[in-house]
């Protein structure tokens, strides 16, 4: 299978290669999901996790094409009963841009009294209705003496995909890149 992409293909492939995390396997999974479409924007995030005495790696590659948002996750596994040798698992999800309902961007800026400086941290949450979160709390009324049961109140939030990066852990460039990706996604999903 070819591991070529569209317009920003070379940049995307270099970003995957820089992680050093099974780049051929990751690129193959991403290329299959992109399916020859042009790459408009992307973000690559390498996140190691600690499991007792082992370090396991997780790589998220988020790609924006003219028509879709593609999420790719690759994890490594030490081996198990079914596959005794170490292996990776790559899962991909392709979402039509017209299905994207929300792009929530949270920026954390230090020393805000100095004006809008570089963000120290960013969280991007994308919702398309695949997963929702319900936050409930007991409802009440304005009467402090009231002991009646007023049921519950709450909010329903789309929470399909969320990614957080910080300058301290991932570097300032990662924060800037995630914010640029979110801006591109917001612009394209708005017109889809």
Residue range(s) defining the domain that contains residue 116: 100-192
Same domain, 70 and 31: yes
pLDDT tens figures, 94-139: 999 999 998 999 999 998 888 888 899 999 999 887 766 677 888 8
Question: Of 49, 82, 97, which residue sits at a domain end?
Answer: 97
Taken as a whole, the chain contains a residue count of: 192
Which of the listed residues 77, 97, 117 is the one where a domain comes to its end? 97
**Same domain, residue pair 49 and 129:** no
Same domain, yes or no: 54 and 114: no
| Whether residue 48 sits in one domain with residue 1 | yes
Number of structural domains found in the chain: 2
Residues 128 and 168 grouped into a single domain: yes
Do residues 15 and 69 both lie within one domain?
yes
Same domain, residue pair 35 and 116: no
- Which range is least confidently modeled, 43-47, 63-67, 108-112, 139-143? 139-143
Tell whether the model's pLDDT for residue 66 goes beyond 70.
yes
Domain's final residue, options 62, 97, 132: 97
The neighbour count for residue 29, using CB atoms within 10 Å, is 24
Mean pLDDT, the chain, rounded, equals: 88
Identify whether residues 116 and 78 lie together within a single domain. no
- 149 lies in the same domain as 184: yes
Say if residue 90 is in the same domain as residue 4. Answer: yes
The verdict on 87 and 147 lying in the same domain is no
- Considering the entire predicted model, what is its pTM? 0.80
> Do 80 and 104 fall within a single domain?
no
Instruction: Give one DSSP letter per residue of the chain, joined into a string.
Output: -----STTHHHHHHHHHHHTS-HHHHHHHHHHHHTT----EEEEEEEEEEETTEEEEEEEEEEE-SSEEEEEEEEEE---SS--S-EEEEEEEEEEGGG--EEEEEEEESSGGG-S--EEEEEEEEE-SSSEEEEEEE---S-TT------EEEEEEE-SEEEEEEHHHH-HHHHHHHHHHHHHHHHHHHH-
> For 85-98, what is the mean pLDDT?
93
């Amino acid at each position: 299978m070819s591991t070529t992409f569209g317009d920003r293909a070379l940049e995307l492939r270099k970003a995957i290669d820089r992680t050093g995390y099974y780049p051929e396997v990751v690129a193959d999974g991403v290329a299959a999901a992109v399916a020859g479409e042009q790459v408009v924007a992307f973000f690559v995030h390498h996140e190691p996790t600690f499991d007792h005495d082992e370090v396991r790696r997780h790589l998220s590659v988020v790609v924006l094409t003219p028509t879709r948002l593609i999420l790719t996750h690759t994890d490594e596994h030490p081996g198990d009963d079914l596959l005794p040798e170490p292996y990776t698992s790559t899962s991909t999800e392709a979402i039509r841009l017209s299905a994207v309902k929300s792009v929530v961007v949270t920026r954390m800026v230090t020393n805000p009294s100095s004006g809008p400086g570089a963000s120290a941290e960013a969280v991007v949450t994308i919702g398309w209705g695949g997963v929702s979160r319900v936050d409930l709390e007991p409802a009440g009324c304005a009467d402090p003496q009231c002991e009646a049961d007023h049921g519950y109140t709450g909010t329903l939030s789309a929470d399909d995909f969320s990614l957080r990066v910080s300058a301290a852990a991932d570097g300032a460039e990662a924060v800037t890149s995630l914010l640029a990706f979110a801006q591109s996604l917001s612009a394209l999903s708005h017109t889809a």
